[in-house]
Amino acid sequence: MNNNSNAATNNNSLRALTIAAIGVVYGDIGTSPLYTLRECFEAEHLDVTQGNVYGFLSLIFWAILLVVTLKYVIFVMQADNKGEGGIVVLMQEARRFLRGKASWIVMMLGLIGAALFYGDAIITPAVSVLSAAEGLAVLNSSFEPFIIPIAMSVLFVLFLVQRFGTQSVGTLFGPIMVVWFICLALLGGIHIIENPTVFMAINPYYAVAFIANHGWSVFLGLGAVVLALTGAEALYADMGHFGKKPIRFAWFSLILPSLCLNYFGQGALLLSNPESIKNPFFLLAPSWGLLPLIILATIATVIASQAVISGAYSITRQLIQLSFSPRMKIVHTSAEEIGQIYVPTVNWSLLFAVLLVIGLFKSSTNLAAAYGIAVTATMVITSLLFFVVMVKNWRWPVWVAASLTGLFLCFDLVLFIANLLKLAHGGWLPVLIAVSILFMFLTWMKGRKIMNQQMVEKTIKLQDFIANLEAFPPQIVNGSAIFLNSEPDSVPPALLHNLKHNKILHERVAFLTVHTQDEAFVDSEQRLSLERLSEHFYRLDVYYGYQEIPDIKDILKLSQMKGLSFDLMDTSFFLSYESISSASSYKHMNGLRGAIFLWLNKNSARSTDFFQIPANRVVELGTQIEI
């Protein structure tokens, strides 16, 4: 009886997680049929002939099968860190057993991939919502002037409600997307029944023949084929929220069949009515079903946008924890799920960029040209990083890893090169975004490195300093003081300033150092290390994964469990505030880069906000640094 009960519970849990995964993970790739096949023909201005329809369908089918199914669903999802995935996780996994220049190269590849992700996070909501709104023009051409205002309004509301979190509406995402995928399958299946010969395009001969017949010009069409793969990274990035099994089960049981049926259904429609190329997706529906389909498509694109926006929050948190990005205010929107966060700075920056992009490009067709470069470049980087993981982490034979990576790159590189041809027609946008963000990453890293070096040069060895203070103590006052200290073996500048100006020492002094580990999460048993240095001094080393955010209240609870109790109302937190010289000449960074670092440092979140320290218990003491 118990076994049956457990089996039923597990099945219910798998079903619930699968439906949730369908709502969050597959929104992006699930809305690709809205525009992919249309853009394939638009890219090369090809006639709708049987050979061309079969050629594009064959390319789309095999791209989905080899890139999404084989590469991501079967192989890349194996490269996780305690169940977490994504380009930053893959970068950290690839660096785990590397040192020196090799580690630096892998780090750069990961940062480029992360920067490209932000470009994708800007373009995805714009092209998805625009393509859904454009369905109104199919319903009635008089709606055309209102398409851009409607799309902008929908996106504005979407970003506006982000601060409330996804928990309250998250349960709706899965069922809605299940309905969406069922509609994809039904709409495609109806037209396939009318023209079942379209399934001949499954034969890869048609893809090869299509490429052979069109020569170099086929690259423009291939650049549009990649639109069918957008969202593949979400399979990997969102793995930690749902687990591998639900994501894989959803893919093979519903997503893959529905996508294939819809694409082949569009192909069957084009064979019987070539004029439907103006919008083959919406023309799959009967006239009475067009308006409901437009409404459902708009909801589906909003959900697809939600997934990539949430991904931008998550990747920002990872980059902050790994010191690749300035600190930003991070708000937890759920008491239960650590992954549900809101980053106001990222949210409003994305909204501004998305609205600007829609205003510049004005249609999903124009935006489609900008879409592919970010996606395909990330795919290439993923393949290269995965090769390192296979060889260094898993100890696979090099020839096996190279063979598998070569198979992946056959598609990745061809699609990437095809999209490079679109640089002048909108492809410059994700490149510009990625280069700008990467420049900020590297500027922040260099500036912080210079600051840390100067801080170390000015500091005193902690053990010697403590011994001197215990021998010749200043006036001792009641209460506890916790000094945040980035260098565990050095005296924090705030303590030196406190002694210099106030000439007092608290009866209990703790030096708190937060360490970010190479893993996504740290077990609670390994969170805190407590060491008594002398009669008055303690050292607290706290360890967090790059998916986690430090919380001072949790740290104090762990400290109490280890025998060192702090009364929050009788404890002062001392922070060292670095005041950077704004002189026009910079000693270690050129003028422009120095000015950018000054701006980033000035606008980064205060330590009190990031570590969630009560503001009325904080004392900040500054020191000046020149960069």
In the 8-state DSSP scheme, what is residue 31? Answer: T
Asked if pLDDT for residue 5 goes beyond 50, the answer is: no
pLDDT in tens, 455-514: 767 777 888 888 888 788 888 888 888 888 888 888 888 888 888 888 888 888 899 988
Q: Which pLDDT belongs to residue 342? A: 82
Give the C-alpha distances (Å, rounded to integers) separating 110 from 169, 430, 480. Answer: 32, 16, 42
Q: Which pLDDT belongs to residue 146? A: 86
In angstroms, the CA 181 to CA 543 distance is: 42
Beta-ladder partners of 506: 477
Q: Which pLDDT belongs to residue 206? A: 94
3-state secondary structure of 51: helix
Asked if pLDDT for residue 384 goes beyond 90, the answer is: yes
pLDDT in tens, 215-232: 776 777 778 888 899 888
pLDDT in tens, 149-203: 988 998 898 888 777 765 445 566 788 999 999 999 999 999 999 999 999 999 9
Q: Which pLDDT belongs to residue 494? A: 84
Residue 141: CB atoms within 10 A of its CB come to 9
Taking residues 242-261, report their average pLDDT: 92
Q: Which pLDDT belongs to residue 75? A: 94
pLDDT in tens, 54-98: 999 999 999 999 999 999 999 999 998 877 788 988 999 999 889
Q: Which pLDDT belongs to residue 392? A: 94
Domains identified in the chain and CATH numbers:
11-426 (1.20.1740.10), 452-625 (no CATH)
Taking residues 97-118, report their average pLDDT: 92
Most confident region among 135-139, 296-300, 394-398, 540-544 by mean pLDDT: 394-398
Most confident region among 34-43, 134-143, 268-277, 421-430 by mean pLDDT: 268-277
Buried b (16+ CB within 10 A) or exposed e, 518-536: ebbbbeeeeebebeebeeb
User: pLDDT class for 405, splitting at 50, 70, 90?
Assistant: very high
User: Which is higher by pLDDT, 40 or 310?
Assistant: 40
What is the full DSSP assignment across 219-277?
HHHHHHHGGGGTTHHHHHHTHHHH-HHHHHHHIIIIIHHHHHHHHHHHHHHHHH-GGGG
Beta strands 528-532 and 537-544, pairing class: antiparallel
Asked if pLDDT for residue 106 goes beyond 60, the answer is: yes
Distance of CA 96 to the CA centre of its chain: 20
The answer to whether 544 and 589 are in contact (CB under 8 A) is no
pLDDT in tens, 421-458: 888 777 888 889 999 999 999 999 988 888 877 776 77
Sign of CA dihedral 468, 471, 473, 478: positive
Sign of CA dihedral 117, 121, 126, 132: positive
In angstroms, the CA 88 to CA 303 distance is: 23
User: pLDDT class for 584, splitting at 50, 70, 90?
Assistant: very low
Using H for helix, E for strand and C for coil, what is the string for 442-504? Answer: HHHHHHHHHHHHHHHHHCCEHHHHHHHHHHCCCEEEEEEEEEECCCCCECCHHHHHHHHHCCE
Burial class (CB in 10 A: 0-12, 13-18, 19+), 1: exposed
Q: Which residues contact 511 (CB under 8 A, 6 or more apart)?
A: 462, 482, 483, 485, 488, 492, 533, 537, 538, 539, 540
Q: Which residues contact 117 (CB under 8 A, 6 or more apart)?
A: 87, 233, 311, 312, 315, 374, 378
The answer to whether 543 and 517 are in contact (CB under 8 A) is yes
Q: Which pLDDT belongs to residue 80? A: 86
3-state secondary structure of 511: strand
3-state secondary structure of 521: coil
The answer to whether 223 and 530 are in contact (CB under 8 A) is no
Rg of the Cα atoms in the chain: 27
Asked if pLDDT for residue 338 goes beyond 60, the answer is: no
pLDDT in tens, 342-351: 888 999 999 9
In angstroms, the CA 28 to CA 582 distance is: 44
The answer to whether 75 and 404 are in contact (CB under 8 A) is yes
Span between the terminal Cα atoms of the chain, in Å: 70
User: Which is higher by pLDDT, 581 or 141?
Assistant: 141
Give the C-alpha distances (Å, rounded to integers) separating 495 from 78, 553, 573. Answer: 47, 22, 11
Percent of the chain with pLDDT over 90: 31
Task: Name the one residue in this structure whose structure tokens are 């118990």.
Answer: 2
The residue type found at 59 is L
168-182, 457-471, 537-551, 609-623: least confident range: 609-623
CB-based contacts of 15-19 (< 8 A; 24+ apart in sequence): 17/242, 17/243, 17/245, 17/246, 18/242, 18/246, 18/249, 18/250, 18/253, 19/174, 19/175, 19/178
User: pLDDT class for 582, splitting at 50, 70, 90?
Assistant: low
In angstroms, the CA 489 to CA 73 distance is: 45
Q: Which pLDDT belongs to residue 1? A: 47
In angstroms, the CA 99 to CA 230 distance is: 33
pLDDT in tens, 19-31: 878 877 888 899 8
Q: Which pLDDT belongs to residue 335? A: 53
pLDDT in tens, 154-165: 889 888 877 776
Q: Which residues contact 504 (CB under 8 A, 6 or more apart)?
A: 474, 475, 476, 477, 498
Q: Which pLDDT belongs to residue 27? A: 82
Strands (E), 335-380: 341-342
Percent of the chain with pLDDT over 70: 91
Asked if pLDDT for residue 49 goes beyond 50, the answer is: yes
User: Which is higher by pLDDT, 617 or 95?
Assistant: 95
